[in-house]
Chains A and B, each alone.
Chain A
Amino acid sequence: MPPQMKRKDYLRWRRLLDFRPFEESCFLCYMSVPAHSSDLPPRLALWHVTKRYPGVVANNDVSLTVKPGEIHAVLGENGAGKSTLMKIIYGAVHADEGHLVWNGQTVHIANPSAARQLGIGMVFQHFQLFETLSVVENIALALEGAFDLKHLAERVSEVSARYGLPLDPQRLVHSLSVGERQRVEIVRCLLQNPQLLILDEPTSVLTPQAVRALFGTLRQLASEGVSILYISHKLHEIQALCDRATVMRDGRVTGEADPRQETAASLASMMIGRELPVCSAPPYHGESSAVLEVRGLDYHNEDPFGASLHGVDLVVNRGEVVGIAGISGNGQAELLAALSGEQLSAPGCVLIGGEPVGHLHAGKRRDKGLAFVPEERLGRGAVPAMTLAQNFLLTSHRKPALRRHGLISRTRAREFAAHCIERFDVRCNGVLSAARSLSGGNLQKFIVGREVLQEPKVMIVAQPTWGVDVGASAFLRQTLLDIARSGVGVLVISEELEELFEICDRIAVLAGGHLSMPVARALTDAEQIGLLMAGPQQQAA
């Protein structure tokens, strides 16, 4: 035993040595498996990978093969285990069982740095950039060893020009748009000459135009032999871009297919186990009057990296769903706070049912008939440790049946919550289960249900189906349509364009703190909305 080695490490090291013959035999095993006919060994192969977390199996016996130069989709809903699988490949998480074969060699990827050295690059869904540093400084931080900023800046320009990713290395990251930030992440990976590039939901924050540009870059990379693992739940993107798709559900692989040979419906049935549900939007015949008006709302954000609002005007009428498209960070949070009453403004800036409420705080505005479903469900829309019955009280305490003389009725709260759970199909262990024990989709159904049961005049919903599975998404969208058609004005703020086009009667775009004029859905398309989302600066560029 080497003197400076700890006994435990030594034992582990010995064990690895003992199994060296196994690794070779494993390689042979893989060779004997009739995989895709190709002369080259696959860039990456995963064999029977299983990862367990307390109470859940995130990946269950997952096998996957990616060929050189292949754009391989991993398709699945939120919670299907895609992200865990990618983290295993990137070395951020270690598999409990199974192994990875990289270019024909069994490897153990200890950490992301080891993954990068092998030639694996990853672009995360949530960017990992320092806003106060320049592009080139951010890239330098990720590189290992010594670097020369000037030389690096030249390489950044070179790589970005070559792959159609225009980027000024000297700009500060906080001044970049989301699309540009993603370019920084991609260029950062490309500088390390990756053989495999992993992209986790890369288009969730991009305009349709930016998505097209990204696809161009990815195709060029693939033609040069770089393999790409493309994680998404968007069927049409996968059909447009990918050569092969591995479909996952509940941590297992449920199918492998050529997405171009499949229909959206057949892919969906692999992904969710049944057909894609669709919403029905009947026309509204009731009386139409403005229930929510915003007039010249300005908000100056003190935070230099926060967004401000500039002269926002908006009207939401009874019976309609108005959508606000745009990428988060363009004033969405600020507008929501100003509408909900968490941020106050001049009285006449916000009107509910014609009554000025800009100066009233959240509770008073709810008294006037406002209901609000926030983006953040746990911790804001619901108190994580409290039961569903207690959470029902959070906004329903105004009902006289629930609160009298400053005292609350727990029995009634339980009855009301039980009603909400039943009517909105919330899957849980009854009214006494804690909010945090529910899945994202079920908690969202509960919160939306609670707000609908307030019988509001106006309902504001932020990111209604963010992180929610397909079945629950369809239910939630239909619920919003139904409540609108019952005479409520519904305002939906969402990053998902498809969702907005499915349920909204009119769509506006919030970009750079400016809100565009809402346009009837029939008179616009994703292309036009995408141009508005990019904002005036981007259009000029």
Chain B
Amino acid sequence: MQLLEPRANPSKLMRWAAPPLAIMLTLLAAAAIFVLLGKPPLQAFHVFFIEPLQDANGWSELLLKASPLILIAQGLALGFRARIYNIGAEGQFLMGAICASGVAIYTDGMTSAWILPAMVVAGAIGGGLWGALPAWLKTHYNAEETLTTLMLTYVASYLLSWLVGGPWRDPGGTNFPQSILFSEPAMFAPLFEGLRVNSSVFITVIAVPLFWLFVSKSFMAYQLAVGGEAPAAARYAGFSARRTVWVSLIVSGVTAGIAGASEAAGPVGQLTLSLSPGYGFAAIIVAWVGRLHPIGIVLSGLLLALIYIGGDAAQVSMQLPSAISWLFQGMLLFFLLGADAFVDFRLKRRRAKPRLKDHVNDEEGRA
């Protein structure tokens, strides 16, 4: 028996209220977990959400982490709108980082202003290619992009581990799986002395209005949305389904690639095995929590970044396990999808029996 039935008119208000609702539920569930772990929940929330924002370093870290999340999520949201589910942004992020690092490694020792832009371009190409591969597989062999993008993530990850363990391993290092430290021209300059936040955030700052313009104004985005909402209508109108696939996957690959390049040339400063703290996967949550809207994604990106740094803080000051950040992310997505289900559907009520009593009165009244 089906428990849910579709609502005739899903409420627009509730659709936007769903993310705050999901956040509330996540906090409630988190409080329960903190209690079970024997930690006072209020103190835990304070450590998680207030403490990190009490000093400049906290804000710097927030921006540093939110920037790649927002950038990747903007690209993903474009595809999600067209129902092209790229869940392999993590792999595209790593490929971007690898290609950018390649530029940095082979230009080591040079001083030129074009090195950093070249790294960003290389990152974009690497990520874009890693997105184009599933697009080619989908358009030519009808291979499901959810599978291919995810599997290519592992390919990228093993490629990275081969590179840092082999050809690109730092000869001067102590056999650690990492490349040389990038030189100054191959790094984004820090914005403030002593803080890690760097000029790569400007890429995101520029990308957000561009994406907003693209989504709200461009004919291409309209075609993507029609393809996602009603594929038959897209065919009827003569919009190319193949182009939809190519555009969504390449754009999301490019944004993830640029984010990867910025990460390598920013806070990390070299190519290492542990380059990504899972930005590619977290960005999927950012995109959904932000309702696939360019501005909503900015807000949800900041929230997820806060969960990241709050998780770090909680590890240090409350001895909570590092998995706590992942737990938060997972619960947030879970509650959001649950809330969404209730926006579109409602619980089926038991079929009401014919109300006989009314008829007795009715008939009596008639007689």
In the complex where A26-B363, A98-B359, A363-B238 touch, is A383 in contact with B233 (Cβ < 8 A)?
yes
Chain B residue at minimal CB-CB distance from A337: B235
Give the interface segment out of A141-149, A215-223, A276-284, A374-382. A374-382
A96 within 8 Å of B (CB atoms): yes
Asked if A29 and B233 make an inter-chain contact with CB atoms under 8 angstroms apart, the answer reads no
A406 within 8 Å of B (CB atoms): yes
Q: How far is the CA of A22 from the CA of B352 in the complex (A)?
A: 19
Q: How far is the CA of A364 from the CA of B239 in the complex (A)?
A: 10
Chain B residue at minimal CB-CB distance from A30: B363
Asked if B238 and A361 make an inter-chain contact with CB atoms under 8 angstroms apart, the answer reads yes
B358 within 8 Å of A (CB atoms): yes
Asked if B354 and A97 make an inter-chain contact with CB atoms under 8 angstroms apart, the answer reads yes
A522 within 8 Å of B (CB atoms): no
Chain B residue at minimal CB-CB distance from A376: B232
| 8 Å CB interface, A474-499 against B | none
B351 within 8 Å of A (CB atoms): yes
| 8 Å CB interface, B235-282 against A | 235-240
Asked if A342 and B236 make an inter-chain contact with CB atoms under 8 angstroms apart, the answer reads yes
Q: Which of B216, B220, B236, B362 contacts A374 (CB 8 A)?
A: B236
Residue numbers in B under 8 Å from A379 (CB-CB): 230, 232-233
Asked if B229 and A385 make an inter-chain contact with CB atoms under 8 angstroms apart, the answer reads yes
In the complex where A25-B363, A390-B222 touch, is A408 in contact with B237 (Cβ < 8 A)?
no
In the complex where A374-B236, A380-B233, A395-B237 touch, is A108 in contact with B354 (Cβ < 8 A)?
yes
Residue numbers in B under 8 Å from A397 (CB-CB): 219, 222
Q: How far is the CA of A477 from the CA of B367 in the complex (A)?
A: 50
Asked if A363 and B239 make an inter-chain contact with CB atoms under 8 angstroms apart, the answer reads yes
Asked if A366 and B219 make an inter-chain contact with CB atoms under 8 angstroms apart, the answer reads no
Q: Which of A12, A22, A98, A381 contacts B353 (CB 8 A)?
A: A12
Asked if B229 and A386 make an inter-chain contact with CB atoms under 8 angstroms apart, the answer reads yes
Nearest CB on B from A339, distance (A) = 12
In the complex where A26-B359, A340-B236, A363-B238 touch, is A407 in contact with B218 (Cβ < 8 A)?
yes
B360 within 8 Å of A (CB atoms): yes
B217 within 8 Å of A (CB atoms): yes
| B342-367 interface code vs A (CB 8 A; 1 in, 0 out) | 00000000011111111110110011
B8 within 8 Å of A (CB atoms): yes
Asked if A341 and B238 make an inter-chain contact with CB atoms under 8 angstroms apart, the answer reads yes
In the complex where A403-B219, A408-B222 touch, is A383 in contact with B359 (Cβ < 8 A)?
no
Q: How far is the CA of A94 from the CA of B225 in the complex (A)?
A: 39
Q: How far is the CA of A397 from the CA of B218 in the complex (A)?
A: 11
Asked if B219 and A97 make an inter-chain contact with CB atoms under 8 angstroms apart, the answer reads no
Q: How far is the CA of A108 from the CA of B356 in the complex (A)?
A: 11
Asked if B236 and A362 make an inter-chain contact with CB atoms under 8 angstroms apart, the answer reads yes
In the complex where A397-B219, A407-B219 touch, is A32 in contact with B353 (Cβ < 8 A)?
no
Q: Which of A54, A99, A362, A394 contacts B226 (CB 8 A)?
A: A394
Q: How far is the CA of A384 from the CA of B230 in the complex (A)?
A: 8
Residue numbers in A under 8 Å from B238 (CB-CB): 341, 361-366
Q: How far is the CA of A437 from the CA of B7 in the complex (A)?
A: 13
A3 within 8 Å of B (CB atoms): no
Q: How far is the CA of A99 from the CA of B356 in the complex (A)?
A: 9
Q: Which of A48, A381, A395 contacts B362 (CB 8 A)?
A: A48
Using C-beta atoms within 8 Å of the partner chain, give the interface range for chain B: 20 to 34
Q: Which of B225, B233, B363 contacts A381 (CB 8 A)?
A: B233
Residue numbers in B under 8 Å from A382 (CB-CB): 230, 233
Residue numbers in B under 8 Å from A19 (CB-CB): 356-357, 360
Residue numbers in B under 8 Å from A108 (CB-CB): 354
Q: Which of A12, A26, A48, A363 contacts B237 (CB 8 A)?
A: A363
Interface centre among B9, B236, B239 (most CB of A within 10 A): B236
Q: How far is the CA of A249 from the CA of B283 in the complex (A)?
A: 53
Asked if A381 and B236 make an inter-chain contact with CB atoms under 8 angstroms apart, the answer reads yes
Q: How far is the CA of A380 from the CA of B234 in the complex (A)?
A: 8
In the complex where A340-B236, A363-B239, A383-B229 touch, is A408 in contact with B363 (Cβ < 8 A)?
no
* Count of A-B residue pairs with CB < 8 Å: 104
Nearest CB on B from A463, distance (A) = 15
Residue numbers in A under 8 Å from B237 (CB-CB): 362-363, 366, 394-395
Q: How far is the CA of A95 from the CA of B236 in the complex (A)?
A: 40
Residue numbers in B under 8 Å from A407 (CB-CB): 217-219
Q: How far is the CA of A311 from the CA of B355 in the complex (A)?
A: 61
A55 within 8 Å of B (CB atoms): yes
Residue numbers in A under 8 Å from B239 (CB-CB): 363
Residue numbers in B under 8 Å from A376 (CB-CB): 232
Residue numbers in B under 8 Å from A25 (CB-CB): 360, 363
Nearest CB on B from A26, distance (A) = 6
Asked if B367 and A32 make an inter-chain contact with CB atoms under 8 angstroms apart, the answer reads yes
Residue numbers in A under 8 Å from B232 (CB-CB): 376, 379-380
Residue numbers in A under 8 Å from B355 (CB-CB): 96-97
Asked if B230 and A54 make an inter-chain contact with CB atoms under 8 angstroms apart, the answer reads no
Nearest CB on A from B11, distance (A) = 13
Residue numbers in A under 8 Å from B222 (CB-CB): 390, 393, 397, 408
Interface centre among B8, B222, B229, B233 (most CB of A within 10 A): B233
Interface centre among B219, B232, B237 (most CB of A within 10 A): B237
Q: Which of B220, B235, B352, B366 contacts A96 (CB 8 A)?
A: B352
Residue numbers in A under 8 Å from B216 (CB-CB): 410
Residue numbers in B under 8 Å from A437 (CB-CB): 9
Nearest CB on A from B190, distance (A) = 37
In the complex where A97-B358, A99-B359 touch, is A406 in contact with B230 (Cβ < 8 A)?
no
| A392-403 interface code vs B (CB 8 A; 1 in, 0 out) | 011101000001
Q: How far is the CA of A20 from the CA of B169 in the complex (A)?
A: 88
| 8 Å CB interface, B177-207 against A | none
Nearest CB on A from B245, distance (A) = 16
Residue numbers in B under 8 Å from A410 (CB-CB): 216-217
A372 within 8 Å of B (CB atoms): yes
Chain B residue at minimal CB-CB distance from A370: B238
Q: How far is the CA of A216 from the CA of B174 in the complex (A)?
A: 96
Residue numbers in B under 8 Å from A394 (CB-CB): 226, 233, 236-237
| B32-73 interface code vs A (CB 8 A; 1 in, 0 out) | 000000000000000000000000000000000000000000
Residue numbers in A under 8 Å from B363 (CB-CB): 25-26, 29
Chain A residue at minimal CB-CB distance from B355: A97
Q: How far is the CA of A376 from the CA of B217 in the complex (A)?
A: 28
Asked if A406 and B219 make an inter-chain contact with CB atoms under 8 angstroms apart, the answer reads yes
Asked if A380 and B236 make an inter-chain contact with CB atoms under 8 angstroms apart, the answer reads yes
Residue numbers in B under 8 Å from A386 (CB-CB): 225-226, 229
Interface centre among A12, A22, A342, A394 (most CB of B within 10 A): A394
Asked if A408 and B229 make an inter-chain contact with CB atoms under 8 angstroms apart, the answer reads no
List, sorted by A's number, 9 A–B pairs whose CB atoms are closer than 8 Å.
A94-B354, A95-B354, A97-B359, A340-B236, A341-B238, A342-B236, A395-B237, A406-B219, A437-B9
B contact residues vs A (CB 8 Å cutoff): 8-9, 216-220, 222, 225-226, 229-230, 232-233, 235-240, 351-360, 362-363, 366-367
A contact residues vs B (CB 8 Å cutoff): 12, 15, 19, 22, 25-26, 29, 32, 48, 54-55, 94-99, 108, 340-342, 361-366, 372, 374, 376, 379-386, 390, 393-395, 397, 403, 406-408, 410, 437
A sample of 20 more A-B contacts (CB under 8 A), given A22-B356, A374-B236, A390-B222, is A19-B356, A19-B357, A26-B359, A32-B367, A96-B355, A99-B359, A340-B236, A361-B238, A363-B239, A376-B232, A379-B233, A380-B230, A380-B236, A383-B233, A384-B230, A386-B225, A394-B233, A406-B220, A407-B219, A410-B217
Instruction: State the 6 A-B residue pairs at the shortest beta-carbon distance, nearest first.
Output: A363-B238, A362-B238, A380-B232, A383-B230, A407-B217, A383-B229
